[in-house]
Amino acid sequence: MSAVSQITVLLKKLGSTYDDDSTDRWHHVRTIMILIGLATTLFLKNYVGEPLQCWPPAQWNDGWEAFAEAYCFVENTYFVPMNQSNLPAHHTREDQEMIYYQWVPFILLLMGLLFYVPRAIWKLFSFYTGLTLPEMMKSARTTGKTGAEGKGGPLAKALYREHTAVEKAGSIRYGSYLSNLYLFCKTLMLLNVFSQLLFINYWLGTAYTFWGLGIFWDMLHGRHWQESGHFPRVTYCDVTVRELGNVNNWTLQCVLMVNMFNEKIFIFMWFYFAFLLVITFFNWVIWLHRRLFGSVDFIKELVAQENFIPSTANVGKFKDRVLKNDGLLLIRMIDENAGRIFASEVARELWDLWDGESRERSSSGWVYPSNDSDYSDITPPSPQPVASSTPLKPFIPILIEGRSGKRLAHLEDELTPDSEWEDDATGPIGLHDSHFSEPDPPLADENH
């Protein structure tokens, strides 16, 4: 496979699976592609073309000139302003060397790798929720583009089934794990772009605190590289040559053409990172607010219809018992990537599934507790005396300890027609002890 084909395959893998928002894609898709493109351009310039050319002494042949240029590119060059008539002392030249231009392509690739770290953490650890996020989001986006109504039902049912399955599997994390992980990755994105801005200032060794603004200010006021020394085009290089047993030191003047590219690239990258820092910060604040506040209003807006507006209390129960913070995050991602209409259809279908199940439980006497601790307070309703001729079939609620936690079940117990409720409730459910006594022994056979 050729290098171009490998790069094409790599860029395709960087594409979004839409379990993110638009700001995330600026980090792990667009920025990485920009950095790879810039690094590839500089690789070609440095290692295929001619990154610098030097002015050798007249007695040197072409071989010596090629050797000197390769040596100067590897061993660094130093800048001396043109208004200085003399070169600096030998022991001070090393402190003035520019050490960055050979490493720019590698640094750009490293920057791209750091931009992908938060995304890699998200993809790795979101797997433990048991939810197939990429497939869900791709399906939602594909379905949402059609614009047809009633398409949110299948996805909502799939989400509800996965929610039920996840609740029963104790080894799978669900509740706030996914939303906390997403907010953590957002924080990593913010710290990454901020640290890369600081790194540019430190690595280039400039005197400006805000390097991009300083360079832009110099350009506006006509202060070029000859005075500032930022990305100089003309530099100097010391070459030591051994000729016929003699060691000669030569100082060559070189044109560092690659610095013309480096200057434009880093000015663009500084302002681009500054822009990315601003939008990432505001996006982080928005998601933090969504995580801590505003979830009830968002759900109510999605679920509400012309003839139905859910109460705040019921929306809170729906969020706490069914969606939770992780389910709410999925709904927000659907809203971000598939549109508000499709997100509303999914939310309403989930509401209808939960509401129908709640009504079935209520009709059978089942009370939905808010958490597992509430099961300890559940007691059956007080029994009422009935006529002895009426068959009585009470539902006896019992607690069953299973793998998924405590669950409430009903045991239908057929009582004999002559069963009676005792007012003093001597049994565990108000039945007389005689109803639980041992059966009478069989009558003895008179023939024996």
Both tokens assigned to 207: 């005197």
Give residue limits of the domains in the chain: 3-130+184-277, 374-436
pLDDT, tens digit only, all 448 positions of the chain = 566 666 666 666 677 778 889 999 999 999 999 999 999 999 988 888 888 899 888 888 888 889 898 888 888 888 888 777 788 887 778 777 888 888 899 999 999 999 999 999 999 888 777 677 878 787 788 777 666 555 666 677 766 666 565 555 554 556 788 899 999 999 999 999 999 988 888 877 666 667 777 777 777 766 665 556 678 888 899 988 887 778 888 889 999 888 888 888 988 998 899 999 999 999 999 999 998 887 888 888 888 877 788 888 888 888 888 888 888 898 999 898 888 888 888 888 888 888 887 777 666 655 544 444 444 444 444 555 544 444 433 333 333 333 333 333 333 343 344 444 344 444 443 334 444 344 555 554 544 4
What is the three-class DSSP state of 252?
strand
414: left (phi over 0), alpha (psi -120 to 50) or beta: beta
What does pTM read for this prediction? 0.71
Eight-state DSSP code of residue 172: S
Q: What is the DSSP string of 384-422?
A: ----TTS----EEEEEEEETTEEEEEEEE-PPPTT--B-
Q: What is the DSSP string of 289-351?
A: HHHHS-HHHHHHHHH-BTTB---HHHHHHHIIIIIHHHHHHHHHHHHHHH-HHHHHHHHHHHH
Query: Is the CB of residue 28 less than 8 Å from the CB of residue 135?
Result: no
Question: How many Cα atoms occupy the beta-carbon half-sphere of 346 within 13 Å?
Answer: 28
Residue 308's identity, in one-letter code, is F
Query: Is the CB of residue 123 less than 8 Å from the CB of residue 178?
Result: no
